[in-house]
């Protein structure tokens, strides 16, 4: 079944009280828009068209950042949801199959829900996603008879009897692409708001002798984000769902409510995640790895059997092979750690490659930045880097080499060599006592003069 998806992302979102377009505010470390695009992508669609408006250039750039395959069109002026869908028509002309309309400010719709709508298309020409609302408020109402949808009535245009209905419209719909675009072309704006409502296509379809139906979902799926409070509510709902799915998939979360996932976080079965762990974008944790408490990870890959933390930070480009150990207060950025590497504590490895089974002592720093350029450090296999070593990049330490504790390494170290780069210690017996006595007398004289 060929599917095209239209994502409506033109709204201004004035209640967000922000200079940022509403759909670029983030839930789970990703713009709201990316949640809709991610959902669309799961359907393996033939086309994804995003309709932009307010902040259109920024929204279009964000859509392209998600995938260059996403096409964008501009709705200007913004005359309603049917008018927005009509802007996508030139890009969908001649496209066969189904069309689904999603909203970029509604991040919690499930893939299973959309697939249920596609299945319902076997019976109905137009399928609307509805929900039973605890407090219907100003949602559009679904007017039904049996399993037939007769009309969608916007709150502004509804009678008191219609407003008492609790079956509400989510806005998400599914129809044959050609049928949808032809129906949209017939929508008029003779309503209280003077807008072209997408909801009018139900009655227009029925006037052609076509049927319309409803697929129901849980109200929580349909949460739209229009305020900062709703943004926080969507974040909480996403995290609750992600934690439940991780547990169901065989991941151990020792304190689930303290773990925060990103939209694209992947964690394999039998991984263990400690308390107060935050996943930024682009993190993969393979099966059997352990992330201990209070770690912050983004843009990194952690292989089987690796352990990280507690209190570690992995930044973009960190690649940990199997059985790597990264301990407390270690930061890794744009660095590859081969199998069995140990980085115990209090270390920074940036722009580096560490060979298998090497040991990195406490306080080691790869000095990778000269104020203008970044430089790379290469450490070979089974090397031993002594505590408090400063590796001034670009520099290479060979296989089986050793650096003395406290060394500043500015030149390449050959394989199996020992490199010591520190000043010779000078010891002067009794000088400490004489110095302290002199300093105390100076301090006493100062105190007497101030008295």
Cα(92)–Cα(98) distance, rounded to whole angstroms? 11
Residue 236 three-state SS:
helix
Question: Any idea what the Cα angle at residue 285 is, between residues 283 and 259, rounded to 5°?
Answer: 75
Whole-angstrom distance, CA of residue 95 vs CA of residue 118: 17
Active site residue 54: no
Calculate ∠ Cα 368-369-373, nearest 5°: 115
Left, alpha or beta for 155 (phi > 0: left; psi -120 to 50: alpha)?
A: alpha
Asked whether 124 and 144 are in contact (CB, 8 A), the reply is no
The residue from 296, 345, 357, 375 that is catalytic is 345
**CB within 8 Å of 126: residues ≥ 6 apart:** 149, 173, 174, 175, 179, 180, 183, 201, 202, 205, 210, 211, 212, 213
Transcribe 79-99 into DSSP letters.
--HHHHHHHTHHHHTT--SEE
Helices 56-66 & 32-42 angle (0-180, nearest 10): 40
- Measured CA distances, 46 to 64, 95, 96, 218, 253 (Å): 16, 9, 9, 28, 38
Rounded to whole angstroms, the Cα distance separating 73 from 91 reads 9
Helix residue ranges, H only, 212-258: 228-248
Give just the sign of the alpha carbon dihedral 131, 133, 137, 141: positive
d(CA 145, CA 215): 14
Which residues carry out catalysis?
A: 345
């Amino acid at each position: 079944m060929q599917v095209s998806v239209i994502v409506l992302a033109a709204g201004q979102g004035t209640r967000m009280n922000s200079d940022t377009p509403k759909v670029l505010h983030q839930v789970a470390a990703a713009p709201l828009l990316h949640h809709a695009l991610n959902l669309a992508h799961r359907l393996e669609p033939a086309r994804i068209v995003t309709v932009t408006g307010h902040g259109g250039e920024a929204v279009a750039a964000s859509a392209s950042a998600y995938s260059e395959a996403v096409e964008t069109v501009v709705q200007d002026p913004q005359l309603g949801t049917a008018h927005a869908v009509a802007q996508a028509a030139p890009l969908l002309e001649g496209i066969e199959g189904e069309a689904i309309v999603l909203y970029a400010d509604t991040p919690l719709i499930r893939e299973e829900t959309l697939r249920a709508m596609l299945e319902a298309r076997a019976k109905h020409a137009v399928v609307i996603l509805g929900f039973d609302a605890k407090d219907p408020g100003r949602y559009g109402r679904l007017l039904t008879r049996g399993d037939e949808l007769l009309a969608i009535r916007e709150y502004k245009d509804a009678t008191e009897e219609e407003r008492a209905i609790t079956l509400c419209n989510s806005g998400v719909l599914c129809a044959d692409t050609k049928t949808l675009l032809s129906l949209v072309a017939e929508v008029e704006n003779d309503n209280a708001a003077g807008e072209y409502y997408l909801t009018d296509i139900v009655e227009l379809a029925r006037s052609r002798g076509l049927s319309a139906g409803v697929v129901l979902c849980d109200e929580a799926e349909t949460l739209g984000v229009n305020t900062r409070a709703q943004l926080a509510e969507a974040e909480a709902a996403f995290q609750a769902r992600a934690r439940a799915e991780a547990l169901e998939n065989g991941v151990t979360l020792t304190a689930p409510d303290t773990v925060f996932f990103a939209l694209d976080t992947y964690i394999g079965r039998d991984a263990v995640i400690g308390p107060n762990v935050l996943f930024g974008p682009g993190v993969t944790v393979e099966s059997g790895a352990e992330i201990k408490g209070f770690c912050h990870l983004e843009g990194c890959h952690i292989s089987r059997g690796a352990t990280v933390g507690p209190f570690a930070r992995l930044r973009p480009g960190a690649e940990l092979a199997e059985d790597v150990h990264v301990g407390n207060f270690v930061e890794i950025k744009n660095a590859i750690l081969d199998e069995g590497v140990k980085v115990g504590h209090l270390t920074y490895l940036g722009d580096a490659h560490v060979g298998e089974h090497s040991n990195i002592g406490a306080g080691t720093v790869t000095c990778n930045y000269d104020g203008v350029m970044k430089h790379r450090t290469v450490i070979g296999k089974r090397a031993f880097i002594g505590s408090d070593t400063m590796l001034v990049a670009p520099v290479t330490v060979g296989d089986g080499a050793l650096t003395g504790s406290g060394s500043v390494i500015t030149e390449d170290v050959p394989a199996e060599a020992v490199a010591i780069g520190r000043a010779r210690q000078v010891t002067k017996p009794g000088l400490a006592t004489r110095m302290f006595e002199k300093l105390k007398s100076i301090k006493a004289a100062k105190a007497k003069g101030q008295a």
